[in-house]
Structure 1
Amino acid sequence: MMSLREVSLQSAAFKQYIYKIKGYSNLVYGMFIAQALGLLFSMGGLMSRAFGRNNLSITVKSYSADLVIVFSLFWILITAATIANKSYRNIEFSLVANRLSSNLSNMGFLMTFSIFAGIMASLSGVLLRILGYFIFGPAQVLFEGFLISPINLLFGMFVTSLCLILFSAIGYLGGTLVELHKSFVIIIPILTAGFLKVYVQYLMKIYAYFFESSLPVFTLKLLALAILLFGISILLSNRLEVRK
């Protein structure tokens, strides 16, 4: 009986995952808008350095896809919180077997979108270089570090996708908390702003804990934290009524 239940759960979760990939595809437009805005702001350069001697002055601007990644992180955060709310839960009741299958399909959906967004955000770095080459001309381009090696590009896609998965787990937990009690709409931003303002040093330690590691350790840390947050969301969602 246990194996039959597991197959039933997997089947229900997979069917709902496919349904959400097709039915929630409009959410990807938000990703394109967010990344386009990040690309637009990146065209002005992220850092600028000026050098001068006698009557000669040189200004060097650095360009990267960092802003595109930041905008993508905000997009997945909002998207994850959105699909955890009541209106999206009510859409799926014709397919949902239980609360667990709903959460599992949401996790699969968010991970798929995170990987897709991570790939697109990394490729935007290539697009930014191409645009810069044709807009400013080859005479204005410093070719050292201009080209991205395939290894570095794949590395960027992988790391960015992991960060997006983590942020999707954070957003999903936030959306679940809001469904439990609407006061979290106010509490979460206040606590987040307060933490960022007062405990900046702890934030830097957290950043160092994750990013100052080898790639395998970094991957395990981020995935473990994402799974933990998704797990907490599942436990909390069990307190919600099946349908209001």
Structure 2
Amino acid sequence: MATEVQSGDLNSANSSRLEVSIDGLTLSPDSEGEQEQAEASAAHSAGNPELSDDGEEGDPASSATIEGRWGFSLVELYGLALRFFKEKDGKAFHPTYEDKLRLVALHKQVLLGPYNPDASPEVGFFDVLGNDRRKEWASLGNMEKDEAMLEFVKLLNKCCSLFAPFVASHKIEKEEEEEEQRRREEEERERLRQEEERRRREEEERLRREEEERRQVEEERLRVEQQK
């Protein structure tokens, strides 16, 4: 973990510049970025998929609900969310310090399960970020993996209006790939059908020739007998 602290006040996380890289996820609060993100969130599309706990479609964590709203299973959607966060953080969007702490904690919960103080290294008293990160992870308690993935997606979707279009573009790509796969499968089925039809015709022709040969042999036999 690489940590950079700038500012004279170590007790104020929001007034300091704290940066840490955790499993590829970087924490670096930026007040200007937070303002930009607030403006982006205000312009959030009304058609953006929502993952509310009281949605009309039932349990938001159910596979059918996730698939219906986003076009991906929860595991696939979480994978896209994690990829988006790693690629776009600090570039396309700037979550608040608190939101980023939460995202990293949820990622840890998915990756390692509930926080275990006995399995975690000691955090120094002056390591403000380390202590904040540990508290946030511990606050998740025994949250299940699926719930942590869902919460990660919900928070990321709330933080950044660009996430939904990112998922939508991948959904289109997925649908195109599925359509191409269906086309190839249909072509293969047609090829097999034609091959089967060809074999059937060949077999019918073989049987016809054999029958014709037997008929000729029988006619020849009868002709010979009649000549005797």
| TM-score (structure 1 length as normaliser) | 0.24
User: Rg larger in 1 or in 2?
Assistant: 2
Q: Name the structure, 1 or 2, with higher relative contact order (CA <8 Å, separation 6+).
A: 1
**Normalising by the residue count of structure 2, what TM-score does the alignment of the two structures yield?**
0.25
